[in-house]
Amino acid sequence: MPPLGLRRGRAWAALLGQLLRPPRAACAGPGRPHSQFAEAVLTSQLKPHQEKSNFILKTPKGTRDFSPQQMVVREKILDVIVSCFKRHGAKGLDTPAFELKEMLTEKYGEDSGLIYDLKDQGGELLSLRYDLTVPFARYMAMNKLKKMKRYHVGKVWRRENPTIAQGRYREFCQCDFDIAGDFDPMIPDAECLKIICEILTGLQLGDFLIKVNDRRILDGMFATCGVPESKFRAICSSIDKLDKISWKDVRHEMVAEKGLAPEVADRIGDYVQCHGGLSLVEQMFQDPRLCQSKQALEGLGDLKLLFEYLTLFGIAEKIRFDLSLARGLDYYTGVVYEAVLLQAPAPAEEEPLNVGSVAAGGRYDGLVGMFNPKGHKVPCVGLSIGVERIFSIVEQRMKTFGEKIRTTETQVFVATPQKNFLQERLKLIAELWDAGIKAELLYKNNPKLLTQLHYCEDTGIPLVVIIGEQELKEGVIKLRSVASREEVAIKREHIVAEIQKRLLQS
């Protein structure tokens, strides 16, 4: 893969650079001034939680807060992803966190039990969205749109049993890109795979692979192997577990739980162990069983075309045709794909992080039509980036290297070496803010100079402006570089311009 765009690449490289720097020596923080109002009478007449029995201070199961450190990394990751979506001409869209319950009914197959319902408090029955795809299809149908290329970054909720170690949560962020519209075959599908490659490359997550299959090939395989049509989706869902459990266990589920004849299961078993490139697609065209199925042949034809486009995009070597790839969700109708990292990018001595798939998607040509009053279909294809898992990887990398990253962007600190200079500090900082300069001061009437300078070192603020009696008398402000400790006196009326000049240079 060639490198991504310079500007994005630089921003990300800067973060990674920061992540790789050795941690700064710990500095003492500023003292915490005691407020004269700390003991002021509080009017609140509420019962504190600590007086209640068995009160536990926590976030709900499977959810978490994001600390400022985590937010910085998160924003950088989302920036790489959203920049890529915009590079491909996508528009933004947002939908509510919950939908009418019936909108989500019968869209997710076996996983429907994981949907969070809201309590019936009168009025409509509501559920938290389970993904961003069904709300997108609902939006397309509701607004009678025939085509749209949109991205959506938002939280979704699933009542799964979370395995936090794998980066799975009950509340998690999805980053979706979808192309809706009736276009010539496989061009949008190829672009989706290109986008996954660009994002995973841009995030520097190490080597990866995208497994590709087609629901029509799966269905054709099921039909010609002897699976009753009523069991297609259930068997599909079993096959989807092959990356987590063994074929033996999947076979057992299909036969014992889902009532499939053992010989049918074995026929399927022969196929789902196949994976390869374009040559496997061509080989499957000759398969005596599959070539009986019109659906399977259509799927194979599209995959062949897809590989042609992927070669033109220069990413064919990242793609693997894998007959075991099924994807769990009911709404897929054509090509499906899933990206997996080939190794966790952790140092050798670290336990590798099992992150599963980091991106996935596929074609769902029937979903919008389900919402359309006249059943009008709008073909769609899309992808979703598993940003929580990516975030887990980067976070582990940070922990490994004992990173410290700046959580604020403050450029200038307003300090004084003397008592009774709060008024001057407030006047000065207001000037800086009004000029668009990011500035802070300590919320103390008479802070010590050392405390103020330590605060700058501790939080990474590069510049300090200092005002005291001497400066006030001479009509100047002292400008200090925290790194070099150099100080120069600048005329008061030039201080904003001088700071802006320094910030442009840095």
Cβ neighbors of 312 (< 8 A, separation 6 or more) are none
* Rounded Cα–Cα distance for residues 357 and 225 (Å): 28
342 binds a copy of itself (CB under 8 A): no
User: Which residues within the stretch 157-176 sit at the binding site for a copy of itself (CB under 8 A)?
Assistant: 157, 159, 171
Residue of 20, 124, 343, 483 interacting with a copy of itself (CB under 8 A): 124
To a copy of itself, the closest distance from the beta carbon of 206 in angstroms equals: 19
Could you tell me which residues are beta bridge partners of residue 149?
Answer: 179
Residue type, 223: A
* Rounded Cα–Cα distance for residues 255 and 212 (Å): 26
Residue type, 488: V
In 3D space, the residue among 335, 312, 338 whose CA is nearest the CA of residue 381 turns out to be 335
User: Which residues within the stretch 258-287 sit at the binding site for a copy of itself (CB under 8 A)?
Assistant: none
Q: What tokens were used for 374?
A: 């006249």
User: Which residues within the stretch 141-160 sit at the binding site for a copy of itself (CB under 8 A)?
Assistant: 141-143, 146-147, 150, 155, 157, 159
Number of residues that bind a copy of itself (CB under 8 A): 146
Residue of 80, 81, 98, 284 interacting with a copy of itself (CB under 8 A): 98
Residue of 163, 246, 354, 407 interacting with a copy of itself (CB under 8 A): 407
User: Which residues within the stretch 447-506 sit at the binding site for a copy of itself (CB under 8 A)?
Assistant: none
User: Which residues within the stretch 344-363 sit at the binding site for a copy of itself (CB under 8 A)?
Assistant: none
Half-sphere exposure of 319 (CA within 13 A, CB side): 32
185 binds a copy of itself (CB under 8 A): yes
Residue 373 vs residues 143, 391, 425: alpha-carbon distances, Å: 12, 40, 65
Which lies closer to a copy of itself via its Cβ, residue 173 or residue 344?
Answer: 173
To a copy of itself, the closest distance from the beta carbon of 14 in angstroms equals: 15
Cβ neighbors of 297 (< 8 A, separation 6 or more) are 220, 285, 290, 291
- The CB-based long-range contact list for 302-306 (8 Å cut-off, 24+ gap) reads 302/185, 302/186, 302/189, 302/214, 302/216, 302/334, 302/335, 303/212, 303/214, 303/217, 303/335, 304/278, 305/185, 305/186, 306/186, 306/189, 306/190, 306/193, 306/212, 306/335
**Quick one: which segment of 20-28, 242-250, 272-280, 331-339 binds a copy of itself (CB under 8 A)?**
331-339
Residue of 17, 23, 183, 266 interacting with a copy of itself (CB under 8 A): 183
Length of the chain: 506
To a copy of itself, the closest distance from the beta carbon of 277 in angstroms equals: 19
Which lies closer to a copy of itself via its Cβ, residue 233 or residue 252?
Answer: 233
403 binds a copy of itself (CB under 8 A): no
Which lies closer to a copy of itself via its Cβ, residue 333 or residue 384?
Answer: 333
Residue of 17, 96, 262, 352 interacting with a copy of itself (CB under 8 A): 96
Residue of 22, 32, 244, 347 interacting with a copy of itself (CB under 8 A): 32
